[in-house]
């Protein structure tokens, strides 16, 4: 598996990371979640994705505590700003709060979490300023469909968007129809959340599907590992599966050494074909 993508600004970004949605929100789960993050980092998974929305900041604080004994420069930290905080009067404060909670003085990437009322040029202006100041190294968006991406790129500075984080897994492939082709033309990378079919309207039954199970048996894998291997078979795709246990985190990390054959990928395509028409963007 190709370990990194190179963003248009030259920054190398790991293709496999750890998603922090719901992580750090319950004290009873803290010990196992700390272990999961640390085992992930120790096994070479250095991309960590969180957001100010997750637990209203508790996830960022949890990550900050979990990573404080690691070399910050070896990690790739991503966080996201809420639409309600994305205007020029609030976004700097939101970013500073995220940095404090994460116990760092910069983010590798800052994402506009979903579309709100703030005009795109205002969001882009702030993101570009933060890059110039060195408090973020790159910026992107999340939950943007094709029309949204086209509008964003048309604005001054919009072409500097490097990532669009969207729900994508074997059973939810709508972005393949027109969003992914457009993003590829613009050198904007897709970042898959819920790659293990943990969410979305099309996730039911995938882990029990006979094709998935057969491929899992052939490789001595879990069905979840097959789903992650499918997503990462696209060398432009970044994936951030969520895991609250060290065992599952290590399972995810092991997928970096797994390559599905063309025949296996075709079987999965036949079992869960991509749509041949435009469909609404899937979200959790």
Q: Is the CATH number 3.20.20.100 carried by domain 14-203+236-259?
A: yes
Q: How confident is the model at residue 128 (pLDDT cuts 50, 70, 90)?
A: very high
Model confidence at 211: pLDDT above 60: yes
Residue whose tokens read 């990378």: 189
Is 22 among the residues known to form the active site?
no
Express each pLDDT in 57-70 by its tens digit.
Answer: 999 999 999 999 99
Percentage above 70 pLDDT, the chain: 98
pLDDT at 203: 66
Domain boundaries, the chain: 14-203+236-259
The two three-digit tokens of residue 1, written as one number: 């598996």
The whole-number pLDDT of residue 233 equals 98
Residue located via tokens 């991406």: 149
CA–CA distance, 168 with 231 (Å, rounded to integer): 8
pTM of the model: 0.96
If you average pLDDT over residues 141-170, what whole number do you get? Answer: 97
Express each pLDDT in 186-209 by its tens digit.
999 999 999 999 765 566 789 999
3-class DSSP state of 48: strand
What's residue 204's pLDDT? 73
CB 161 within 8 A of CB 153: yes
Per DSSP, 135 falls in state S
* Distance, CA of 137 to CA of 82 (rounded, Å): 19
Contact status, residue 87 vs residue 120, Cβ threshold 8 Å:
no
Predicted local distance difference test score (pLDDT) of residue 284 = 78
| Burial of 105 per CB tally in 10 Å (0-12, 13-18, 19+) | exposed
Phi, psi of 6 (to 5 degrees): -105, 115
pLDDT value at 165 more than 80: yes
CB 227 within 8 Å of CB 170: yes
Is residue 163 within 8 Å of residue 180, measured between CB atoms? Answer: no
Query: What is the DSSP pairing of strand 12-14 with strand 4-6?
Result: antiparallel
Catalytically annotated residue among 22, 34, 54, 112: 54
Residue 247 has pLDDT above 60, yes or no: yes
- What is residue 37's predicted lDDT score, i.e. its pLDDT? 97
Average pLDDT, the chain: 96
Instruction: Compute the distance between CA of residue 3 and CA of residue 253 in angstroms, rounded to an integer.
Output: 11
Query: pLDDT of 75-95, one tens digit each?
Result: 999 999 999 999 999 999 999
Check pLDDT > 70 for residue 39.
Answer: yes
pLDDT value at residue 1: 87
CB atoms within 10 A of CB 14: 20
């Amino acid at each position: 598996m190709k370990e990194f993508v190179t963003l248009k600004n030259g920054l190398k970004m790991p293709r496999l990371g750890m998603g922090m949605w719901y992580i750090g929100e319950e004290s009873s789960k803290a010990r196992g979640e700390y272990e999961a993050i640390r085992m992930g980092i120790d096994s070479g998974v250095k991309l960590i994705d969180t957001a100010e929305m997750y637990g209203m900041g508790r996830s960022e604080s949890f990550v900050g505590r979990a990573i404080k004994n690691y070399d910050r420069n070896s990690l790739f930290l991503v966080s996201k700003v809420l639409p309600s905080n994305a205007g020029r009067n609030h976004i700097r404060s939101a970013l500073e709060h995220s940095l404090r909670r994460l116990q760092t003085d910069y983010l590798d990437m800052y994402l506009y979490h979903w579309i709100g009322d703030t005009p795109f040029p205002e969001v882009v202006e702030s993101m570009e300023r933060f890059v110039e100041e060195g408090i973020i190294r790159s910026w992107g968006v999340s939950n943007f469909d094709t029309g949204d991406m086209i509008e964003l790129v048309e604005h001054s500075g919009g072409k500097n968007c490097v990532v669009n984080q969207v729900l994508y897994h074997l059973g939810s492939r709508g972005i393949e129809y027109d969003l992914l082709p457009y993003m590829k033309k613009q050198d904007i990378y897709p970042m898959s959340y819920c790659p293990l079919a943990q969410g979305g309207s099309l996730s039911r039954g995938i882990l029990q599907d006979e094709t998935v199970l057969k491929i899992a048996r052939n490789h001595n894998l879990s069905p979840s590992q097959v789903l992650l291997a499918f997503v990462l078979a696209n060398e432009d795709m970044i994936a951030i599966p969520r895991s609250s246990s060290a065992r599952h985190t290590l399972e995810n990390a092991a997928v970096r050494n797994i390559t599905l054959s063309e025949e296996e990928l075709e079987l999965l395509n036949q079992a869960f074909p991509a749509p041949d028409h435009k469909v609404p963007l899937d979200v959790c």
